[in-house]
Amino acid sequence: MPTVNFDELRQYIDISKGAEQLLSKSEKEITFSLNLYKSDGEILEASTYVIYANVARGPAKGGIRVAPSVTLEETRDLAERMVWKTALSGIPFGGGKSGICLDPKEITRFEKTAMMKEYVHMISLELMSGTYIPAPDLGTGPHDMAVIYGETHLLESVTGKPPRVGGLPGRKEATGRGVAHTAELALTKLLGRKLAGSTVAVQGFGNVGSWTCYFLHKAGAKVVAVSNEYGGIYDEKGLDIEALMSHVRTSPRIEEFGGDTVTNEELLELKVDALVPAAIENQITKDNASAIQAKVIVEGANGPTTKDADAILADRGVLVIPDILANCGGVVASYVEWRKAKSGSITDAKETYQTLMDRIDIGFEQVTSTAKAKKVPHRTAAEILAVFEVIEAMKDRGWV
């Protein structure tokens, strides 16, 4: 099922039946099994999916998710979100995604490296031709991307590599940097507040959540609550984020850091200025949307708010800055890295941050002005802009 409602968007833009037909399903789906024969005689097996949702605007771009819950449907959903995210941010990529159904915590580093090499072998033509460009996602990181580069010997075949292996300084923090910047724009431009002193709760303290907290904390915001899969903590005076990041590097259990404990569910309902769901999808639902007390929700994760919850939040006047705008910093930085690999140019972290903030500034202004002009929620406004761009590209290519 598409992540956007074409019937709703048809009120604002022209969507032909042909365009809807092409956008309602993936362009290409590859499914296979990753198999690894281990020294103990066991065969490690993982169902794997590579999805091209739409490549009208450029090659399929999207990360590799490795998790025991990965499904084909989830991978399709994430690939489609990348189509809208790249279109809204104005970078010349389409949308894609990989999903590997495997628990990365249950395999060794050596086994994971071997699995990543086998992944490359299975889709080597896609990677070598540049039609699909992967990046890190849940369960993968720079080391895994370096393995992909090592197998292809093409710097542009993958993004999110370590800086010493053709990667981009600032890429690791880029998504969180973008989420923090979007939160600042929402607080200052939509709520008329200063970022300094504003209270924020962040669900999820992985790569995106932790760097979001770091940059918000550095800018003077009070990050009062943080959680991860094990639980969370709350301090109305604000948490020491750098100390917490140091703690998590040695122990994943945030509650051991000290302070009042809070569950993931309780964190979502705290009375704060901004709430950042930066964990996994479907966290804000019809069951808890009425209890949300934040003035604005900035989606650091992909799809953290369900459609039913969206309607409830809109009726209550809670602003929601959608994922395809809020967390686009990673893919913008990926474009800079990909462009750097193509040209051989040298880019520093400051330039990376500035580029992604510039793209977010443009997107935020377009979304907020469209929301105001059309009298629609910010998510609908973002979808209007993104779907229009993709359809126009499809027209340019003679697809519709």
Catalytic sites, residue numbers? 97
Round to whole Å and give the CA distance between 296 and 201.
Answer: 11
Contact 299, 277 (CB under 8 A): yes
Contact 352, 336 (CB under 8 A): yes
Q: What is the CA radius of gyration of the chain?
A: 20
**Residue 246 CB partners (closer than 8 Å, separation 6+):** none
Tell me whether residue 243 is exposed, middle or buried, using C-beta atoms within 10 angstroms of its C-beta: 0 to 12, 13 to 18, 19 or more.
exposed
Round to whole Å and give the CA distance between 276 and 184.
Answer: 12
